[in-house]
Amino acid sequence: MKIVCIGGGHGLSQVLDALKNMPCELTAIVTTTDNGGSTGRLRQDPSQIAFGDIRRCAETLGNPENMLTILSEQRFEQNNDLNGHSFGNILLSALSQVTHNTSDAIKIFCAMLGVKHTILPMANGPVDLVATSESGERVFGECHIDALSTFPKQLSLSKAVVANQQAVEAILHADLILLGPGSLLTSVMPPLLLSDIRDALSRTSGCRIFIENLVPEHSAVDSIPANEQVTKAVEILGYKFFDVCLTPDAFEAMDLRAIEKEQHSSTHNKSQLKHIIEQLLPYQDDTQPNYSIKVH
């Protein structure tokens, strides 16, 4: 079983955490347009991609007893330039400078943490996210886009970049492709703007499942009704990127209580999410599961 997960932030990490012990070949395709926090500061070097979400995925899939996995999460608390940086982000940045190759840097980092699955950036080169408002104003960078008060009219990348070709191949040969959960505009959609990934998602025979968020994002996405958000995303992208859309209502229809989030969190319960994904696997064989699900 080959499963591809696309997205970024805590949503992607939660899905990977749910699936990492399943008997499958797991590939994470990670959004690399983040420009906030430690990642944003490191990206002041124009050659650097956003490594933060890649680091988080590696920590999720890495050996939890490996000292480097533990150190990777450690944030410096010092009254100097290191303050707020995570050790993992700095290590990835250093590996990128030494290897002069983003993919090689990530492979080495994953090997150091004992990652058994594959983690890929959406593209090997640095790029930013750009939104265009209804009034025509162009807004650069994820942080500013997340702060918009209205859903943008358009979403694009700041320059032409080539999709990671290993990611493209993984999509083409996947049995199951999971997109989300996470910020629709800034975590899920950026990889889908790349033409090679768009073409791969259109050509793949794998079942494409979009997992919606459990709670409002508190971003521009919330400016339109929840039942219109995915439709708007498809309109902006210019193509339908999923076969099945898992909404909170669909979870409830399964009577599995998977809508219930982890305690004191807005993320999916990983054990219940794993159970639901296992129940969805019949879709790859064109058989219909015995529960209600929203199919657009």
Residue 200 lies inside a defined structural domain of this protein: yes
**What pLDDT score was predicted for residue 222?**
93
Instruction: Give the pLDDT of residue 293.
Output: 44
pLDDT value of residue 148: 94
Q: Whole-prediction pTM value?
A: 0.90
pLDDT of residue 76: 85
Cβ pair 127, 158 in contact under 8 A: yes
Residue 294 lies in a domain: no
Number of domains in the chain: 1
Instruction: Tell me the residue type at 49.
Output: I
Q: CA-to-CA distance for 120 and 163, rounded, in angstroms? A: 10
Who contacts 160 (Cβ-Cβ below 8 Å, separation ≥6)?
none
Tokens of 240: 């339908």
Given this model, what pLDDT does residue 254 score? 58
Rounded distance between C-alpha atoms, residue 193 and residue 151, angstroms: 17
CB 193, CB 220: distance < 8 Å: no
Ranges of residues in the chain with a pLDDT under 70 are 250-269, 280-296
The answer to whether residues 179 and 187 touch, using CB atoms and an 8 Å cutoff, is no
Domain membership of residue 170 (yes or no) is yes
Does 291 fall in a domain? no
Domain interval for residue 64: 2-285
pLDDT (0 to 100) of residue 80: 78
Q: Is residue 262 part of a domain?
A: yes
What pLDDT score does 4 carry? 98
Q: What is the pLDDT of residue 125?
A: 94
| Residue whose C-alpha is closest to residue 259's, from 295, 268, 122 | 268
CATH code, domain carrying 251? 3.40.50.10680
Q: What is residue 269's predicted lDDT score, i.e. its pLDDT? A: 65
Does 295 fall in a domain? no
Classify residue 290: in a domain, yes or no. no
At residue 66, the pLDDT reads 96
Residue 86: inside a domain: yes
| pLDDT of the residue at 250 | 67
For the beta sheet containing 129-132, the strands, ordered from the edge strand earlier in sequence to the opposite edge, are 138-140, 129-132, 154-157
